[in-house]
Amino acid sequence: MSIPHKNYHKDQPNTWTLAKTRKALTNKEITLEEIYKAVDKAIAQTKNLNIYLARDNQALTKTHQRTNLPLAGLPIAVKDNFCTKGLITTASSNVLKKFIPPFESTVTTKLQQAGGVITGKTNLDAWAHGSSTETSDFGRTLNPRNLDYLPGGSSGGSAAAVAADTCLAAIGSETAGSIRQPAAWCGVVGLKPTYGRCSRFGVVAMASSTDSPGPIAKTVEDACIVFEQIAGFDPYDSTTANKSVPKLTEELNKGIKNLKIGLLYSDIKELQSSYKLIEKELAVFERLGAKIEPVKALDPHYAIGVYTIVQRAEVSSNLARYAGVRYDLGRTQFGAEAKRRIMLGTFTLAKGYADKYYLTAQKVRTLFKKDFDQLFAKYDLLVSLTSPGFAKKVGATEGQAMFGELEDMLLEPSSITGLPGLNVPCYRNPQTNLYLGLNIIAPMWREDLMIRAGHAFEQATDWNSWRNDQ
Amino acid sequence: MSLKFKTNSARLQSMSMFDLKLIQHIANLASIPLKTGETEKLASEFESTLKVVANLKELDTSKVKPTYQVGALENVWREDVINKHRMFTQDQALANAPKKHNGHFTVPQIIDKG
């Protein structure tokens, strides 16, 4: 089974965009019952993809009297590392396989206050450690575009949930690529907000200095609708910024006329074949009135080192809490990947090694920050491929201790510096039905700029598979 | 984080940094129980990971300050007050505990373990 390029079908409301569905509900052209029936059917039909770990069977009953709210009772899938009160939250690890949170994460609280309904919890790489969803303790998720391939990760379940039309939008989280890379591999939109824009409260912690929750959606507009509801200052997360949330949906159609866009990493030899495929697509920005040119940036190969060291160090500290005492089943339950990361992190922070590894990594992080500062002094936006190539085949992570770090190489520079980024589909191989994604990066807090470019690109090209939904 | 760790500078220079003793030592520090055969596998995996990150030393960082966090926030304070609406009941707090005793968490013995 392979899902064709065009997802949208007029008779199947699960294949509508969130924006269209919302409008149809307001105009009473459809009922919530019809939407949930279609969603339930889609979930049942894609059970073999292992997208969901848990479902809320009461979802439909929770939608009552929500139609005047921004998310209007709409079904939204949530990555299983967000604590949901009363609904099992495992982070795809055996350590938490019995954990029923007694509290709700801020992001899912906001989502529900806006009328959104959590239909289920989606699979991820255990603890979000990975870029394949293959390291989940509960089995891998398959890519709905082609079942022989991986969906990417760590938010692979959420990206697959959107690609398979089992929800109208989903929530993911990104530490270094975990929203944008699975979105690219599954041919959907992923919006990684600026670090500190969305609260980490109630999200199972991975690397606290880069963890950023954000939406995965069918279109840029849908991602913006969800973003507006989940972003904002949170007194329970002291790293969230006390800034007003931009109304991205009002910025969507402002276009990109006269914007200056820098093209990143097109000079890297091993990426030539992928960049060649999207040459024509990059020219679309010129047609839309922007100016795009290749730029020289700090080699992303160095970001692999920074990310690997910083992430493992923060993991070793964050996962120290799982001692099998308060709410988890203890350290004997960790899978191979988590053990590796905790132990290597412990090593890079240890006396005698910390200067050589941890401190050096944080210094190179400064170099990346300076490099972006210089680039953004000249350019409004920066773009690159999201992933070096197409989705990898099932089983590709076996024996590859650095699989994710290499697949996320082009996203790590912006992640370690906290910048916002957006993935939009920009190419599809008609034989394999697999996609390439374009990564659009903006300066800190300028999500408005990147979604303008993403939306303009989406409208001007035919790569979005919900594009016929007008 | 202050960890007592014996540095062996000769080992730092050598090709194979991770001998099995070092892996076991890290496992003890991180409280990770290892199964038979796992130690050797981890040693070779760590070796290959550190090879990938070794390129960092090509960059001159002698005059660069480290970046530990990317938000511009510093010293974020809040009032030291208790919000009773957010408090767990004793039952809620204990609900997920694997072992409990008379309304308390059961913790592993760490003193006089023998």
What is the average pLDDT across B39-50?
A: 92
Q: Report the residue from A209, A334, A350 with minimal CB separation from B5.
A: A350
User: What span, in angstroms and rounded, lies between the C-alpha atoms of A75 and A116?
Assistant: 6
State yes or no: pLDDT of A432 exceeds 70.
yes
Whether the CB-CB separation of A454 and A422 falls below 8 Å is answered with yes
User: What span, in angstroms and rounded, lies between the C-alpha atoms of A39 and B11?
Assistant: 58
Mean pLDDT in chain A?
A: 95
Q: What is the pLDDT of residues A246-270, one digit of tens each?
A: 999 999 999 999 999 999 999 999 9
Chain centroid to CA A388: 17
Q: What is the pLDDT of residue B114?
A: 62
- Cβ-Cβ contacts under 8 Å, B65 against chain A: 363, 366
Q: What is the pLDDT of residues A16-38, one digit of tens each?
A: 999 999 999 999 999 999 999 99
Look at A346 and B29 and tell me if their CB atoms are within 8 Å.
yes
Cα of A290 to nearest chain B Cα, Å: 29
Cα of A309 to nearest chain B Cα, Å: 8
- Cβ-Cβ contacts under 8 Å, B48 against chain A: 401-402
State yes or no: pLDDT of B9 exceeds 50.
no
User: Which band of pLDDT confidence, cut at 50, 70 and 90, is reported for residue B7?
Assistant: very low
User: Which band of pLDDT confidence, cut at 50, 70 and 90, is reported for residue A67?
Assistant: low
Told to judge if A178 belongs to the known catalytic residues of this protein, a careful annotator would answer yes
What lies within 8 Å, CB to CB, of A325 at 6+ separation is: B97, B98, B99, B105, B106, B107, B108
The angle at the Cα of B40, spanning B24 to A407, to the nearest 5 degrees, equals 105
User: What span, in angstroms and rounded, lies between the C-alpha atoms of B15 and B100?
Assistant: 48
Told to judge if A244 belongs to the known catalytic residues of this protein, a careful annotator would answer no
% of chain A at pLDDT higher than 90 = 91
What is the average pLDDT across A368-374?
A: 98
Of the candidates A79, A121, A192, A218, the residue annotated as catalytic is A79
User: What span, in angstroms and rounded, lies between the C-alpha atoms of A37 and A378?
Assistant: 50
Rg of chain B in Å (alpha carbons): 22
Candidate from A14-23, B34-43, B57-66 with smallest mean pLDDT:
B34-43
What are the structural domains, with CATH classification, of chain A?
13-460 (3.90.1300.10)
- Cβ-Cβ contacts under 8 Å, B7 against chain A: 351-353
Instruction: Please report the ipTM that was assigned to this predicted complex.
Output: 0.90
Q: Is A69 left (phi over 0), alpha (psi -120 to 50) or beta?
A: beta
State yes or no: pLDDT of B1 exceeds 70.
no
Rg of chain A in Å (alpha carbons): 20
Q: What is the pLDDT of residue A469?
A: 57
**B81–A contact, CB cutoff 8 A:** no
Chain centroid to CA A131: 11
- Cβ-Cβ contacts under 8 Å, A102 against chain B: 88, 92-93, 95-96
User: What span, in angstroms and rounded, lies between the C-alpha atoms of A195 and A231?
Assistant: 11
